């Protein structure tokens, strides 16, 4: 785990798109996937957002395999783990970092297949 660097932006944009369009494909329509990840990321805006948030990047063998970022009020904005590294504990490790720093109640907008992960962490479904 390490802190976000501005140079990570393009890799994280691709990671986000690939993760959404592969991991969520069994639960969502293509139109829904395209809403979650359009493939058209404003890299400058993402960089600004990542730098303003508590952002942690997971790296394995020199390759980025995940990212999570949380704002100052406890909103988990993005959590993406590479499609080939699902179920390895990376999402848990990524969430532990910002949750430990902010120690507040946390919120997020999550895909249907991420729901059980967040519920196990103590998040409640407010709208289904």
Helices (H) and strands (E) in the chain, counts: 5, 5
The CATH number given to 2-120 is: 3.40.630.30
Q: Give the whole-angstrom CA distance, residue 75 versus residue 108.
A: 6
Provide the 8-state DSSP code for 66.
Answer: E
Could you identify the residue written with the tokens 């805006």?
45
Q: In the chain, what are the domain boundaries?
A: 2-120
Q: Which residue has the higher pLDDT, 32 or 59?
A: 59
Q: Give the whole-angstrom CA distance, residue 85 versus residue 60.
A: 10
At 82 the pLDDT is 94
Query: Any idea how long the chain is?
Result: 128
Q: Mean of the pLDDT values across residues 10-30?
A: 84
Which pLDDT band, with edges at 50, 70 and 90, does 118 fall under? Answer: low
Q: Which helix (H) or strand (E) holds 57?
A: strand 54-60
pLDDT tens column, 74-102: 888 888 899 999 999 998 898 887 666 66
Enter the pTM of the model.
Answer: 0.77
CB 77 within 8 A of CB 49: yes
């Amino acid at each position: 785990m390490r802190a976000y660097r501005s140079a990570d932006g393009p890799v994280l944009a691709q990671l986000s798109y690939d993760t959404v369009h592969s991991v969520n494909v069994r639960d969502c329509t293509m139109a829904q996937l395209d809403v979650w990840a359009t493939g058209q990321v404003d890299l400058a805006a993402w960089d600004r957002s990542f730098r303003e948030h508590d952002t942690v990047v997971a790296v394995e063998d020199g390759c980025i395999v995940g990212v999570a970022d949380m704002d100052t009020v406890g909103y988990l904005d993005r959590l993406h783990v590479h499609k080939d590294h699902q179920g390895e504990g990376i999402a848990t490790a990524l969430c532990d970092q910002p949750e430990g720093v902010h120690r507040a109640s946390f919120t997020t907008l999550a895909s249907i297949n991420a729901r059980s992960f967040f519920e196990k962490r103590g998040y409640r479904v407010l709208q289904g």
